[in-house]
Amino acid sequence: MLRCIEIPLVLPNQRRIHPSMGSVFHGALMELIAPDSAALYHSLTLRPYSQTVYWDTKRQAAFWRIGTLTDDAYERLILPLQTVDTLWLQQKQYAVSLKGIQIMAQTSFDDLAQRFIKAAAAPAGVEWHCLSVMSFKQDGRYVILPDIRLFYQSLLQRWNAFSKTVTLEQDGLLEQLASHCCLTKYQLRSQTFSVNGSTIYGCDGWQRYQFFGYDML
């Protein structure tokens, strides 16, 4: 089961959340969960979860969003969070209040496959919005600008790693998907974030893509 979880945050003394604090929260999460789970996730190159912190301007509140791709990841990460109402941030030397876990969405790989394969019409395109600063790593180096091929590569890797029944492994699928997308509009800006004390360059914003090709593709 795939799940998207959000946790409202209250920071002390009028401190503000910043997307670069994602690694700080990740470190605090690894301290909270069982040692064997932390050791497991530190050893994996392809993790069954993602997480970010961000400020929602519409709701005027800070949130921690965690996505899990397996039931095991949900049990290892989210269940321990349900037992605490504060999270200690070692790097910042203060605690953050957690105001309840909200499951925003949940589905399965099978349901996703059936929903889109059996759709009455193929989608015309997509628009994605980045909640925090992002960057891709390719050949050991960070790629600042988002590349549709790297998007598809990341999605296909995770799908095939964590889907138990439906796989997407057709020859040349990655190249076909990437070559049948057309960037039509975007608004991006350069940003930085921190990982283990190192400054990483990336970007945030949004992009709109148009799809073309035969319906099944």
Q: Which two tokens mark 29?
A: 């999460």
| Gap between the Cα atoms of 145 and 25, Å rounded | 25
Task: Give the per-residue pLDDT at 36.
Answer: 96
Task: Say what angle helices 35-43 and 22-32 make with each other, to 10 degrees.
Answer: 130
Task: Give the whole-number percent of the chain exceeding pLDDT 70.
Answer: 100
What confidence score (pLDDT) does residue 45 get?
A: 87
Top-confidence residue, 16 or 79: 79
Query: Mean pLDDT across the chain, nearest whole number?
Result: 91
pLDDT of 134 strictly over 90: no
pLDDT per position as a tens digit, 24-79: 999 999 999 999 999 999 999 899 999 999 999 899 999 999 999 999 999 999 99
- More confident call, 74 vs 166: 74
User: Is the pLDDT confidence value at 201 over 80?
Assistant: yes
Q: What is the model's pLDDT at position 13?
A: 84
Distance CA 200, CA 76 (A): 28
Separation CA 37–CA 57 (nearest Å): 34
d(CA 182, CA 213): 11
- Secondary structure of the chain as H, E, C letters: CEEEEEEEEECHHHCCCCHHHHHHHHHHHHHHCCHHHHHHHHHCCCCCEEEEEEEECCCCEEEEEEEECCHHHHHHHHHHHCCCCEEEECCCCEEEEECCCEEEEEECHHHHHHHHHCCCCCCCEEEEECCCCECEEECCEEECCCCHHHHHHHHHHHHHHHCCCCCCCCCCHHHHHHHCEEEEEEEEEEEEEEECCEEEEEEEEEEEEEECCCCCC
Of 110-114, 115-119, 171-175, the poorest mean pLDDT is in 115-119
Q: How far apart are CA 39 and CA 170, in angstroms?
A: 33
Query: What confidence tier does 215 reach under pLDDT thresholds 50, 70, 90?
Result: confident
52 vs 118, residue with greater confidence: 52
Around Cβ 174, how many Cβ atoms within 10 Å? 17
Q: How far is CA 93 from CA 90, 122, 130, in A?
A: 5, 50, 28
What is the rounded CA–CA span in Å between residue 140 and residue 198?
15
At 164, give phi and psi (nearest 5°): -85, -20
Query: Which one is predicted more confidently, 185 or 143?
Result: 185
Q: Is the pLDDT of residue 20 over 80?
A: no
